[in-house]
Structure 1
């Protein structure tokens, strides 16, 4: 149950704390006062999409928090996010929206993503918006409503698995059923590419080695001259000692006194180590000098090989490794095409069995849906009777279609609003008020199937008036005995039926617009109901009528206890 909604800098609401109560909570106010902004704030803290325009003008960020009570610890979304309510079953959701579009979300102080917040929120509270009734006009949604009610998701998942296997099999067959001329052209192309790459004799890592060797050969004279100079300095010449000989002489000079002190011994040993190291370096330089063979012919060969790799890379891949991978793919594709007839025959043999599995899974899904449809029809009709639609008939039609991702049936809701009229698609005959009541009936039935504790109705009374409005109010009162109900309304019948009534009003201060949300007492409620009924001219008669409306609503609520 939603206990407290805290709002900061959302549109015209600078700051507000709305403490909701169990049962039926109603929000009323003038058009544009900010009632829908309260709903927008709820949607935001439950992970809904938001716009930067939602942030109050002049503010750098907006903040919303929602405190829920009686939250079960085993709620699936909480378990997946690693979050638990506190020991009293309280869960605090928070969302901060920054001007740069970034969001900071938390659940009981733990950081979570917007997606996690949305998943958690969807299992705590359901918002029925002003235009949700229009979803009934989209017949593609009807099957989804039926699946939710009948809980046919496991059967649907089993069907989709078999359907996916069939689609993959059909796709493989289509790819193998290539035009013979196109197949011949493709095979010629593959054979040419394979031959060209095989002739190249590509080796992993050779390109780096070639580049290094080419750079060395291009600078051969400079390289050899540098080695000769280093060799002369280290090993010396016919008339000059090199570094090795000079260090040997220094070592020999200290040999006789090396034992006179520890310090002399250390110097002697370091000279010895230095001579050994320089000796090794001199040997390495000599080896490099002797093994280097500068050949213009080799440079031409390396240049030619690099040029070949460059041309191949433009056609087959950015690196030698990529070209080798492409070669493997070409071989596999050619092999598959050469054996395509055998493969095609083998796959086509599997096709009847795959189609039968889809048909069987589709039949099981249809059976489950039809069983659910019969129960849903009864439940919807019962709800509609309660909503003063006594003459209405409601039916769910199944039309066989070719197997698709959603099954083997087209599902649509049919109704007849008047006695003697044939059943027809809802989109063709339902008025705005009828759509609103049918959607309310559907929401109530679906809510009974779910563990969601709070239902929010944003102007569910659209297109409804008079006796029908009273029936809608009574239905919401009945629902509120099982679940918490929050309702934004313009109808006095709905507002009077509420257990808790909030007034949403807008005013100005220091040139800025502000919205206030106030929990009203009985006298304030009478004045508000009189305003809703009569507009700006509130008379004693209207106030007396408002009082009678409150008394009648109280009597009805008591009868539900």
Structure 2
């Protein structure tokens, strides 16, 4: 429920704090005193767009804050929103605040945390609902009408089953559309893909082959350099007929070390090491000799390697920057061609599966529609009966459940229709011309649906428009009944309605030094009797009006 509303520098209000109670509260006052200003301030907390013209003259900003006490009655939707934004209640209370500035900017906080206007609207929609002439209302939304009917008709479980099946169908449909696009793309690319696959397959590149060929080309290109260097190394190791050799010198050195070692045993280690060096050099010489024997130069081989190298380079340039990318592209070509060849068969299987799932969806849809139609009969009967008590004895209320294309919430379009006057066609409640009729329709809906509505605070503006006498008394009774399950606030001009409220707030206006001020305060006792008398006759001091006012309050 709304516990407290603070308004600062908004329109005619300078600084006002309004404390609200549970049950039924009415707001009354002279025309032009500023009752609509309170609704305007509350609309800011509902996420409505700001208007800098509403900032009090001479002020730089206006602020509206509201404190809601939720206790343990918070709706699941509201708790989900609070959890989403990591907000916690403070002793069961939730504080919303919005400031508008003269430069057109505004700031919004919830529990002291900065929020966006859509966030504020989402949260406040779960807290308060204003029913005012021509204002957008939640129950005027076709989507909300559907949700209300589903709640009233206990369609929740069946709706969940439908939505689960709808999700299966949607996933299949998405899969089919993607496959169709892939098939179409593959079909357009098939000629290119076949050519590329054939060209790559014919070349038959091997991973790392390009590096290996590059090394071979480099080796053959350096044939003369390698041959001359190895020949000289071989001559230095083995020697020539006229020259000394490294191997011969090492052998002679080893012999001399052996002679020396006979005289000094400590030299044996050097002899052994020299022998190892000699053996190692001999092995190196033999390896060089064998390599030279196998070394050959072939221009044909070089030409073949360079031709292969150029082919691989060309393929890499066309299909990939490396052999790895080239081979990956080859696999991709093969996959796409296979998909193109087998795609039609796979598409056929998916479409057959979708047909089967759609048949299940149709069954679920029919069950949900049946529950909705049953619920609509009961709901429209109760609302129509309530409208009769609200001064619309010949009004007919109906709920249309019409078939439409399956969607996330079923295959039904829900419309709340009304005909307020005999001989006219029923129209959507959105099109009801009379503000008073609209307010009474909303009151009837709220009364009947009170057990299914999670919004705790309901505000009715001009619910008494165009009515009086016994009808006004009936309206008051309905508001009173509705206040048993909701906090109800009503702005009214009728004493018969105001007298039935638990609390009465009076809006007044005064002019001080050329500046207008609106104020609001609770009236009790004789003050309330006087306000009811004023509402009856316009004269708060009239004896007849005072007597009548007391009688109304006693009733």
Shorter-chain TM-score: what band? 0.5 to 0.7
Q: Which residue of 2 aligns with 1:551?
A: 550
Which secondary structure state, in structure 2, belongs to the residue aligned with residue 3 of structure 1?
A: strand
CA distance in 1, matches of 2:547, 2:192: 89
Q: Does the 8 A contact of 2:391 with 2:467 survive in 1?
A: no
Compared CA separation, residues 426 and 91, structure 1 to 2 (3 A): closer
Give the gaps of 5 or more residues in structure 2.
208-312
Equivalences for residues 164-313 of structure 1 within 5 A: 164-173=167-176, 184-185=187-188, 187-188=190-191
Compared CA separation, residues 135 and 117, structure 1 to 2 (3 A): closer
Which secondary structure state, in structure 1, belongs to the residue aligned with residue 485 of structure 2?
A: coil
Q: Which residue of 2 aligns with 1:483?
A: 486
Q: Is 1:455 aligned to 2:454, yes or no?
A: no
Q: Is 1:106 aligned to 2:106, yes or no?
A: no
Q: Which residue of 2 aligns with 1:497?
A: 500
| Cα deviation code 1:352-399 (max 9, x no counterpart) | 211112112212312332343243234323422332334444343333
CA distance in 1, matches of 2:402, 2:164: 22
Q: Is 1:373 aligned to 2:376, yes or no?
A: yes
C-alpha deviation, 1:418, in angstroms: 6.4
Q: Which residue of 1 aligns with 2:44?
A: 44
C-alpha deviation, 1:143, in angstroms: 2.5
Q: Which residue of 2 aligns with 1:387?
A: 390
Which secondary structure state, in structure 1, belongs to the residue aligned with residue 542 of structure 2?
A: helix
CA distance in 1, matches of 2:53, 2:503: 31
Which secondary structure state, in structure 2, belongs to the residue aligned with residue 17 of structure 1?
A: strand
Q: Does the 8 A contact of 2:509 with 2:519 survive in 1?
A: yes
C-alpha deviation, 1:24, in angstroms: 2.0
CA distance in 2, matches of 1:380, 1:327: 70
Q: Which residue of 1 aligns with 2:288?
A: none
Q: Which residue of 2 aligns with 1:65?
A: 65
Q: Which residue of 1 aligns with 2:158?
A: 155
Q: Does the 8 A contact of 1:398 with 1:409 survive in 2?
A: yes
Q: Which residue of 2 aligns with 1:35?
A: 35
Q: Does the 8 A contact of 1:397 with 1:411 survive in 2?
A: yes
CA distance in 2, matches of 1:490, 1:434: 16
CA distance in 2, matches of 1:94, 1:476: 28
Could you say what the CA RMSD is over the residues aligned between the two structures, in angstroms?
4.7
CA distance in 1, matches of 2:511, 2:496: 30
Q: TM-score, normalised by structure 1?
A: 0.63
CA distance in 1, matches of 2:448, 2:74: 23
C-alpha deviation, 1:510, in angstroms: 4.7
CA distance in 2, matches of 1:128, 1:326: 65
Compared CA separation, residues 411 and 195, structure 1 to 2 (3 A): farther
Q: Does the 8 A contact of 2:24 with 2:479 survive in 1?
A: yes
Q: Which residue of 2 aligns with 1:26?
A: 26
C-alpha deviation, 1:83, in angstroms: 4.5
C-alpha deviation, 1:520, in angstroms: 2.9
Comparing 5-14 with 174-183, greater Cα deviation is found at 174-183
CA distance in 2, matches of 1:327, 1:37: 73
Compared CA separation, residues 162 and 526, structure 1 to 2 (3 A): same
Q: Is 1:413 aligned to 2:416, yes or no?
A: yes
Q: Does the 8 A contact of 2:62 with 2:100 survive in 1?
A: yes
Comparing 17-26 with 30-39, greater Cα deviation is found at 30-39
Comparing 136-145 with 493-502, greater Cα deviation is found at 136-145
C-alpha deviation, 1:14, in angstroms: 1.9
Q: Does the 8 A contact of 1:71 with 1:91 survive in 2?
A: no
CA distance in 1, matches of 2:480, 2:346: 65
Q: Which residue of 2 aligns with 1:317?
A: none
Q: Does the 8 A contact of 1:497 with 1:550 survive in 2?
A: no
C-alpha deviation, 1:528, in angstroms: 4.5
CA distance in 1, matches of 2:455, 2:192: 61
Compared CA separation, residues 154 and 61, structure 1 to 2 (3 A): farther
Q: Does the 8 A contact of 1:388 with 1:468 survive in 2?
A: yes
Compared CA separation, residues 165 and 462, structure 1 to 2 (3 A): farther
Compared CA separation, residues 521 and 341, structure 1 to 2 (3 A): same
Which secondary structure state, in structure 1, belongs to the residue aligned with residue 518 of structure 2?
A: strand
Q: Does the 8 A contact of 1:526 with 1:546 survive in 2?
A: no
Q: TM-score, normalised by structure 2?
A: 0.64
1:125 to 125, 128, 132: 128
C-alpha deviation, 1:342, in angstroms: 1.6
Whichever of the two has the greater Rg, that structure is 2
Give the gaps of 5 or more residues in structure 1.
204-304, 314-321, 557-561
Compared CA separation, residues 122 and 397, structure 1 to 2 (3 A): closer
Comparing 501-510 with 47-56, greater Cα deviation is found at 47-56
Which secondary structure state, in structure 2, belongs to the residue aligned with residue 410 of structure 1?
A: strand
Q: Does the 8 A contact of 2:530 with 2:546 survive in 1?
A: no
CA distance in 2, matches of 1:8, 1:59: 10
Q: Which residue of 2 aligns with 1:519?
A: 522
Q: Does the 8 A contact of 2:132 with 2:439 survive in 1?
A: no
Q: Which residue of 2 aligns with 1:470?
A: 473
